[in-house]
Amino acid sequence: MNTAYAQTVLGKIPSEKLGVALSHEHLIVKPNNSDSYYEQYTLDDAGKSTEETISFKQSGGNTIVEMTPINYGRNPLLLKKISENAGIHIICTTGFHEEKFLPNWIFSMDDDSIKQKLLNEINIGIDGTTIKPGVLKIGTSLNKVTETEKRLIRIVSDVHKETGLPISTHCSKGTKAIEQARFFLENGVDPSRVIIGHVDIPNDIELLIELCRLGFNVQIDHVGRDLANNDATKVKLIVDVINAGYINQVFLSGDMGKKGYLPAYGGTPGLSYFLKDLKGELMKKISEEDYYHILKINPRRFFTITTRVNE
């Protein structure tokens, strides 16, 4: 018998309940790096993050996919608390960032042990809790894919094939997306189970279309950076991908893991932006049905985990 569900920090839920979902955000994050530059990328106040999450809910949002990976300040217990207090579904992550943010143990552990660590998080829980991740992550560096990153793509691909968890990626500044896609195909991964992330940054529609043509999902997730032009270039990318016939493969989010983007931390525009200003801009170019297709129908399909259970 097969069972299908989405895995949230509060447990399994039917994926129909995910509702309006942002597919790549950060609520609790702390880059493991002593460089003061990264202070702005630290979100560690559960109260403020809850406030931000409540404003997303009040604007009509239901689910946040929290893409903070291992060694980047991931905190499943605080995510659980935010989920309970804000009444929002949160899907958390297992897997890795690009090489410069990897934990040292990656370089001394063998492949099987790394794989087993990920499987333990998925089957038992993260860091001694019973909270389980609902998505896998891999990352690649700016303009290159390192040998370690290739190794982790291989390991995460294996874990994906064994568990059914979907994979969502980080392409530094949107580079090396096609290489990532190629590695997944070489590792026998069904491209419809992979979101290639940050691919809107180069603002190259041909890149998005090529990835879609290969069967991958593309994520426009650096939205809300340039309010002055109402994200016109992002809106155009979304419209162009839809017009090319790939509405089923587009995901939308803000990757707003920075104080300057979140009103609760003194920034702007915040997570409610997708349901307010940006929705207004999109509505001038696409139908409401298409808008909800991207924010509801696609995440519902993608974050569904199907596993075989023995009767």
Point out which residues bind Zn ion (CB under 5 A): 67, 255
- Residue closer to Zn ion by CB (options 200, 255) is 255
Tell me phi and psi for residue 59, to 5 degrees.
-90, 0
Listed residue (176, 178, 156, 177) closest to 166, CA to CA: 156
State the nearest-atom distance from the C-beta of 24 to Zn ion, in Å. Answer: 6
CA distance 60 to 54: 10
Residue nearest to Zn ion (CB): 255
25: exposed, middle or buried (Cβ count in 10 Å: 0-12, 13-18, 19+): buried
- Residue closer to Zn ion by CB (options 67, 167) is 67
Q: Are 49 and 43 in contact (CB under 8 A)?
A: yes
State the nearest-atom distance from the C-beta of 261 to Zn ion, in Å. Answer: 11
State the nearest-atom distance from the C-beta of 221 to Zn ion, in Å. Answer: 8
Sheet holding 63-66, edge to edge: 21-25, 63-66, 89-91
- Residue closer to Zn ion by CB (options 98, 158) is 98
State the nearest-atom distance from the C-beta of 128 to Zn ion, in Å. Answer: 25
Q: Are 222 and 200 in contact (CB under 8 A)?
A: yes
- Residue closer to Zn ion by CB (options 99, 255) is 255
Query: What's at 173, amino acid-wise?
Result: K
Q: Looking up tokens 């069972």, which residue turns up?
A: 3
State the nearest-atom distance from the C-beta of 231 to Zn ion, in Å. Answer: 18
Buried b / exposed e along 287-305 (16+ C-beta atoms within 10 A)? eeebbebbbbebbbebbbb
State the nearest-atom distance from the C-beta of 94 to Zn ion, in Å. Answer: 15
- Residue closer to Zn ion by CB (options 51, 255) is 255
- Residue closer to Zn ion by CB (options 67, 242) is 67
CA distance 52 to 46: 10
Residue 269: asked if its preceding bond is cis (omega within 30°), the reply is yes
State the nearest-atom distance from the C-beta of 66 to Zn ion, in Å. Answer: 9
Enumerate the β-bridge partners of residue 63: 21, 89
CA distance 254 to 238: 14
Q: Are 180 and 169 in contact (CB under 8 A)?
A: yes
Judged by DSSP in three states, 231 sits in: coil
- Residue closer to Zn ion by CB (options 54, 256) is 256
State the nearest-atom distance from the C-beta of 137 to Zn ion, in Å. Answer: 9
- Residue closer to Zn ion by CB (options 255, 290) is 255
Judged by DSSP in three states, 122 sits in: helix
